[in-house]
Structure 1
Amino acid sequence: MKRFFLFGLLWMALLTVGCRESRPFSADDFTVERYTPRHATGFDIRSREGSRSSLISVRNPWQGGVGEVQYLYVVRDGERVPARFPGQVVEAPVRRVVCMSSSFVAMFDLLGEVERIVGVSGIDFIANEYVATHRQCGEVRDVGFDSNLNFELMVAMRVDLVLLYGVAGEDTAVTGKLRELGIPYIYIGDYVEESPLGKAEWMMVIAELTDCMERGRELFDATCARYEALRDGVKPGVRPTVMLNTPYRDTWYLPSTKSYMVRLIEDAGGRFVYSGNTGNASLPVEIEQAYLLTNQADYWLNTGAANTLRELTSQNPRFATVPAVRDGRVFNNNRRQTPAGGSDFWESGVVHPDRVLADLLRIFEGRSDSLFYYKKLE
């Protein structure tokens, strides 16, 4: 059996070599723009003249990944792959996919292509209804976390593509094993996008992989229209101040003024109370400084695992005197979560930034009714 398996891998490798062009790869040859993002900064999709195959270029897919470029060649009509192509190769449309982040699941779901997902990471933390239902019959499996992946399971599932999530760099143990097994992969960098619409726009990579580009354009255009209408409808006036997050192991992490969450707050007419971080990642702030900032805020959002004001103030008795707590202006983004604590805010909220923005607008208008992702702590 082992000999047959190794022979199969060798045969696949020979087929791949046989399908290569003699002309060496150059990204400059791909001059036809299949999709150029309007808001996202981390990818583009191009083709060569007269070709239906495409090149997905992914840039800086993790924090600190400046200068990192990865390629995925998407083959159509049996066209040959350029010689010495440095990236991964997959045939469209992909049929059996593993998603290592819940936001990727939401992208497939929005496009109506969620049935292509056969594996996820951390299935207990996935809010998607299809995944929750089809895990029971084994049609969607949990492949594990980080470097502890079940590669044998992925081989048995005949996976076409693995969509990876990078934190601080490429996990070479994972990518090396995937290459050894002949399973294509690509890192998806939606989480490093600072624009809410930029995060959502990564769904166009999924649209390209599933041959539903036109549907993807229509859906994304509609999302942009709804988001921009809400943002542009904010009335000028005094901007409420907002504090974010809670301490984690005696350290309070606050996001950059350029971050996704701060952009949402600003588009909803609010103002983040902390301007000391202008980088591209959250930074730790001393507890005492964070407490003073919280006292300056009209609203306190994204309060971790707290579901009630009692749970929040039990972390630190001084929180009970914070104006936002006294005035009932504390809201958490965990209205929709799995029993294990997985948050749909970080799942479907990524592809529906208009829903998140609508929640924030209602909150800043002094309303706690009809919220989708947020709930008021009582």
Structure 2
Amino acid sequence: MARRYPAGPQGLLRSLNGRAVLEAVGRDGPITITDLAGRITLSRPTVAAAIAQLTEQGVVVEVGPVTGRKGPAPALYQVNADCAFAIGVDVGHRQIRAAVVDVTGRERARVRTEQQGHRGRDALIEQILGVCVDLAGQVGLPLDDITQVVMGLPAVVGTDGRSLSYTTGLPDAGRGLGEALSRAVPVPLLLENDVNLAALAERIHGRGTEADDFVLLSLGVGLGLGLVVDGRVRRGATGVAGEAGYLPSDRMIAPTGQRRDLVQDHLGARYISARARELGLPGDGSPRSVFELARGGDPSAAQIVDDTARSLAYVVACVVPLIDPALIVLGGAIGANGDLLLEPVVRHLADFSDFRPPVVVSDLGQDAVLTGTTTKAAELAREAAFAAATTPASTATAEPQPSLP
């Protein structure tokens, strides 16, 4: 006797069909109903019904007829870019960069301002909130109607998504900042380490698009690593994966019972400025000034650059045998000076290690972290909009915020 199975609820079936059609439109649009039916395992009438529902929901729009075909011109459909908006915020040590993007990831407006964290935690939160309100207004929305905000911070973000540690450049060492931001921002908020977001940007838009395993060395005020393994950014058990500045330095051997210097004691903006003062370099002693002097042939500046390259090579030598990356990407405000750093990093790496992964320089520039925030924010906004449009109201439930891919 044939075994009978009960049919699934029609609402759930329509939801599954609608999601399949919506994903295909998002991937292949603009596209016709007939072409959609040829690419997914659904009949044309089923696809047409789903398109009608999705158009009514406002997540799909008709964008005109196909041209160049014989017979009546069928309509083309694509995802409605305005069905959801998201904001990405890069809270840097000196500046805040932020942008609002639509559900397709296209940037619609951008803001840059000096970071006011020196005035205290509340002032910084007020500033960030003001930036978000401004960006929402530039796409004609109140902040409450923004679907998602993703914020990159120079800090380790704990597993609770709110507690911050190992902070630099944030008021009160970041204490209570994550929780206060979550209370102040009236929409879903994802906090993440800035270098992890830069690594995500490299994976999706930069030098790591063809590499499932690579390491981003981001050097600016401090040093951070973005670790991408099997195509995913790795945060570690508590979020501190990539805090390479806490590696023991190669510059000293400490006596028993005394901790060695750390890599961060001999690397980064503060160290470069201190060395510039020691060597009596002209200018303001900033890394930018030092690297410009090195380009002009100043031997003391060139010594600082080579010293920086040596420390970077040491970090690479420590990491490569553990992860076996296909690629090392240099980034950050200092690390992106590839014309001066690339050759000496490779040269010093030969002194430290038998492993020789390719070393390249990021081409994302100062926008690396912001690109990561907007990429993640658009992805989450897209998922929220798609879920809202295709989930039966009786089964809709709140989902936890996902982490980086």
**TM-score w.r.t. length of structure 1:** 0.31
Whichever of the two has the greater Rg, that structure is 2
Which structure exhibits the higher relative contact order, with contacts defined as CA atoms closer than 8 Å and separated by 6 or more residues? 2
More helix by proportion, 1 or 2? 2
